[in-house]
């Protein structure tokens, strides 16, 4: 064994220190309107001109039908005005398709990366396998021939042929093809880290895997379908908004159809080109063009954070979540209890206690022991001892039986023994060596326990004297840095946080108060989690939770947003409607923010789209009837040059604004934690007022250019 003093130099980072950031995967280089990306997406946008595809979007289908009608009219009665309107109407349809194609293109780039992980793997299927059997009969078959329940053996350097659970052995697995994280992970039989994914590579040792997926329905296949958008279904809110937009389109269509007889009666019949232009200007084309792209981009933002949403419904539900259920360990706290404080007793100097605690922990390889070394090093500057001092040391390693660690130093005046460990174990050692513990020690131990911490007692014994207690080390489950502020943000958003833990109520209460959660569930069982979720849902709330074990599967399935960890069991991943490939439980908070951003973006662009129709109304209606009703000229507040330039300018602006808003639809409106009423006010001021003012400015500027084009003035 290497000298324990080396632990001083290789000790882990203390609580709150920042570790390496996870590798970002599948990022798209360039801006949101990267010309290469636009060019690559253009063929897809053209293919979407198929009426069978366009009919799924009622608003843009009406624009396409109008484009066909104006094309026929321009051929029969050609003019610069007719062809200009026709060209820009077709561009409007193409730009709308381009928004969706760009969003899908980003997903396809990620899907291509995943496809490269799929290889024609051969599997070593076991025949008549029994656990622990040393002599195994194998047969080599194609991975595509594996069925549910088949058992395969995978050794170092081989590709795992299909999704499954490890039923024997433990191995280091490279999952970088899926997660983008280069660090290998451990997969072992039993527990919550048994699931393996087809296409990943075993780096060491040997495992037996029970196949849990059929060919063509593996996790990678599902990932490919999801990121490409092939499996994306419209969410309830998206369907409701589509119905609203379709209704508005029908209303404006009927209004324009009935307008022609009235115009003819007034002696100002309008051409088909003008009527189509009026319909396109009045219907909500902006949001109709961007609606699908907003939904795809929302799922894409999750994929960029290594989260797979099994449906758009889950992303949308995340934006409406009222209650978050969060595991304590790994989410709110670091999970390993770490040394936080040295408490001397009996008049001992704190520096002397720290020195003895560090010395007795050098042989303790547990995370708790290493944290004692770190605390003594950082708080009191205690570093490695000289080789001469440690040359004749006898190291006492920590074991579950003794519950102590320490060191025996051979000094000139005898042996100096130092011990650190559980209170009861060290107290017994002190009494065995003639010492006493005292009331001060019992009071310190009880105080730490009541705070939800773990006390470790430090004692020493020198030859020729009795053993004595030096003090107590306070171990605590350290709350992650910044987590309290995150919970305050969630509270401002109207989201209630509940900490789930198996700890006793006293410990749970102490950590809940320190972390700032709204409530906690102590000594939680799977049945308790399920009951809590059902109780919240019965009150009309949407619930989100994370989990990784088979016993979490029922609760994940019941929750409105169930985020399964990729390191967890296949049962958990099947039950949840999202999978976090990084297995980072705190990402649930980010998922909620992305869901809210999706809803805010959709609402903001809908507000903008409906508001900017007002400006186009003021541009086209006066242009149509000013010759017959001179009084309408007062509505021409932009003082547009002519009826033809006014109508053309409105249609050009209508097409260009779609392109201008594609980056916003893909990136999402910037999210700031606040109440629903504050978000509504902000949307109305920024996107409602902006939707009113921007078209007036844009149409006027376009008119200043259009008026110089022959045939349009």
pLDDT, one tens digit per residue, over 388-426 is: 456 678 888 877 677 888 888 887 777 888 998 888 889
| pLDDT bucket at 656, cuts 50 / 70 / 90 | very high
pLDDT tier, 73 (very low <50, low <70, confident <90, very high otherwise): very high
Q: In sequence order, what are the residues at sequence separation of 6 or more whose Cβ sits closer than 8 angstroms to the Cβ of residue 424?
A: 403
Question: Is residue 105 within 8 Å of residue 227, measured between CB atoms?
Answer: no
Query: Which residue has 């939707």 as its token pair?
Result: 691
Q: What is the pLDDT of residue 19?
A: 34
The neighbour count for residue 707, using CB atoms within 10 Å, is: 17
Segment 108-122 mean pLDDT: 64
394 is catalytic: no
Decide which of 678 and 441 is more confident: 441
Q: What is the pLDDT of residue 74?
A: 92
* Under 8 Å between Cβ of 426 and 455: no
Residue 463 has pLDDT above 80, yes or no: yes
Q: Got the DSSP string for 119-179?
A: ---EEEEEES--TT-SS-EEEEEEGGG--TT-EEEEETTPBP-S-EEEEEEEEEEE-HHHH
* Range of lowest pLDDT (44-53, 204-213, 273-282, 356-365): 356-365
Q: How confident is the model at residue 509 (pLDDT cuts 50, 70, 90)?
A: confident
| Measured CA distances, 350 to 357, 368, 369, 615 (Å) | 10, 19, 18, 75
Encode pLDDT of 118-139 as tens digits: 556 788 888 876 555 555 678 8
- Contact call for residues 589 and 325 (beta carbons, < 8 A): no
Average pLDDT, the chain: 79
Q: How many residues does the chain have?
A: 713
Sequence-ordered list of residues with C-beta below 8 angstroms from that of 359, at least 6 positions apart, any chain? 385, 407, 418
DSSP state letters, 68-96:
HHHHHHHHHS--HHHHHHHHHHHHHHHHH
- What is residue 383's predicted lDDT score, i.e. its pLDDT? 63
Categorize the per-residue pLDDT at 257 as very low, low, confident or very high, splitting at 50, 70 and 90.
confident
Q: Give the residue with greater pLDDT, 217 vs 410.
A: 410
Average pLDDT of the segment spanning 286-313: 80
Mean predicted confidence (pLDDT) in 556-585:
81
Q: Specify the higher pLDDT residue, 276 or 192.
A: 276
pLDDT at 183: 66
pLDDT of residue 6: 30
Backbone dihedral region for residue 306 (phi beyond 0: left; psi -120 to 50: alpha; all else: beta): left
Eight-state DSSP code of residue 482: T
Residue 569's closest CA among 550, 591, 592?
A: 550
Q: Does residue 83 carry a pLDDT above 90?
A: yes
Q: Give residue for tokens 């000289």.
A: 386
* SS3 at position 489: helix
> Residues 165, 327, 477, 503: which is the catalytic one?
327
- Say which residue the tokens 């999402």 belong to: 668
Helix (H, G, I), strand (E, B) or coil at 348: coil
Confidence check: pLDDT of 151 > 80: yes
Q: What confidence tier does 86 reach under pLDDT thresholds 50, 70, 90?
A: very high
pLDDT at position 61, please? 93
Task: Name the phi and psi angles at 129, rounded to 5.
Answer: -80, 145
**How sure is the predictor about 713, in pLDDT bands with cuts at 50, 70 and 90?**
low
Q: Stretch 664-671: mean pLDDT, rounded? A: 83
Give which of 327, 333, 305, 367 is closest to 568, Cα–Cα: 327
pLDDT of 23: 34
**In this predicted structure, what is the pLDDT of residue 13?**
34
State the burial class of residue 216 (Cβ atoms within 10 Å of its Cβ: 0-12, 13-18, 19+). Answer: exposed
Q: Per mean pLDDT, which range of 20-34, 266-280, 308-322 is the poorest? A: 20-34
Of 7-21, 160-174, 253-267, least confident by mean pLDDT is 7-21
């Amino acid at each position: 064994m290497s000298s324990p003093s080396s632990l001083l130099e290789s000790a882990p980072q203390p609580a709150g220190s920042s570790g390496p950031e996870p590798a970002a995967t599948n990022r798209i280089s360039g801006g949101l309107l990267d010309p290469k990306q636009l060019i690559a997406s253009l063929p897809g946008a053209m293919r979407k001109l198929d009426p069978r595809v366009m009919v799924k979007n009622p608003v843009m289908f009406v624009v396409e039908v109008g484009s066909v009608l104006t094309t026929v009219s321009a051929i029969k009665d050609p003019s610069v005005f007719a062809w200009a309107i026709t060209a820009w109407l077709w561009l409007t349809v193409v730009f709308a398709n381009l928004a969706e194609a760009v969003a899908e293109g980003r997903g396809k780039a990620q899907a291509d990366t995943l496809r490269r992980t799929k290889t024609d793997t051969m599997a070593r299927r076991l025949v008549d396998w029994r656990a622990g059997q040393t002599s195994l009969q194998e047969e080599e078959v194609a991975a595509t021939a594996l069925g549910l329940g088949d058992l395969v053996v995978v050794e170092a350097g081989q590709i795992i042929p299909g999704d499954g659970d490890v039923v024997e052995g433990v191995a280091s697995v490279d999952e970088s093809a899926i997660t983008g994280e280069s660090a290998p992970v451990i997969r072992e039989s039993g527990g919550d880290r048994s699931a393996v994914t087809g296409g990943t590579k075993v780096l060491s040792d040997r495992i037996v895997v029970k196949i849990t997926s059929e060919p063509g329905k593996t996790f990678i296949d599902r990932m490919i379908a999801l990121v490409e958008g092939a499996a994306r279904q419209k969410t309830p809110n998206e369907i409701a908004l589509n119905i609203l937009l379709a209704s508005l389109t029908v209303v404006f269509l009927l209004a324009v159809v009935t307008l022609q007889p009235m115009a003819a009666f007034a002696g100002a019949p309008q051409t088909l080109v003008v009527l189509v232009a009026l319909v396109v200007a009045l219907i909500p084309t902006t949001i109709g063009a961007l609606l699908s792209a907003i939904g795809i981009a929302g799922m894409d933002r999750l994929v960029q954070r290594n989260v797979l949403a099994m449906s758009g419904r889950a992303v949308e539900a995340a934006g409406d979540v009222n209650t978050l259920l969060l595991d304590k360990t790994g989410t709110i706290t670091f999970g390993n209890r770490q040394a936080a404080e040295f408490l001397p007793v009996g008049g001992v100097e704190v520096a002397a206690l720290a020195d003895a605690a560090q010395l007795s922990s050098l042989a303790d390889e547990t995370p708790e022991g290493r944290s004692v070394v770190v605390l003594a090093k950082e708080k009191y500057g205690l570093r490695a001892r000289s080789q001469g001092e440690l040359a004749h040391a006898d190291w006492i390693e920590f074991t579950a039986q003794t519950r102590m660690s320490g060191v025996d130093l051979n000094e000139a005046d005898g042996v100096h023994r130092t011990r650190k460990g559980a209170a009861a174990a060290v107290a017994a050692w002190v009494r065995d060596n003639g010492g006493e513990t005292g009331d001060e020690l019992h009071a310190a131990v009880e105080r730490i326990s009541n705070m939800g911490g773990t006390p470790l007692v430090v004692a020493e014994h020198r030859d020729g004297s009795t053993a004595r207690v030096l003090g107590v080390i306070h171990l605590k489950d350290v709350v992650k840095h910044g987590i309290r502020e995150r919970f305050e943000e969630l509270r401002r958003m109207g989201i209630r946080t509940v900490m789930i833990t198996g700890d006793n109520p006293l410990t749970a209460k102490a950590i809940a108060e320190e972390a700032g959660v709204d409530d906690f569930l102590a000594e939680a069982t799977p049945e308790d989690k399920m009951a809590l979720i059902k109780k919240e849902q019965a009150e009309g709330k949407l619930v989100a939770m994370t989990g990784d074990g088979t016993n979490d599967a029922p609760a994940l399935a019941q929750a409105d947003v169930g985020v399964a960890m990729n390191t967890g069991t296949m049962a958990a991943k099947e039950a949840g409607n999202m999978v976090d490939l990084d297995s980072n439980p705190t990402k649930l908070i980010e998922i909620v923010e992305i869901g809210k951003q999706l809803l805010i973006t959709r609402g903001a662009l809908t507000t903008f789209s409906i508001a900017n129709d007002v400006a186009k109304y003021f541009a086209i209606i006066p242009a149509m009837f000013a010759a017959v009703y001179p009084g309408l000229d007062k509505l021409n507040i932009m003082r547009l040059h002519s009826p033809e330039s006014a109508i053309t300018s409105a249609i050009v602006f209508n097409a260009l604004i779609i392109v201008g808003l594609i980056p916003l639809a893909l990136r999402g409106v910037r999210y700031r934690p606040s109440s629903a009423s504050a978000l509504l006010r902000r949307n109305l001021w920024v996107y409602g007022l902006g939707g009113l003012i921007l078209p007036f400015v844009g149409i006027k500027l376009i008119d200043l250019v259009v008026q110089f084009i022959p045939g349009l003035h």
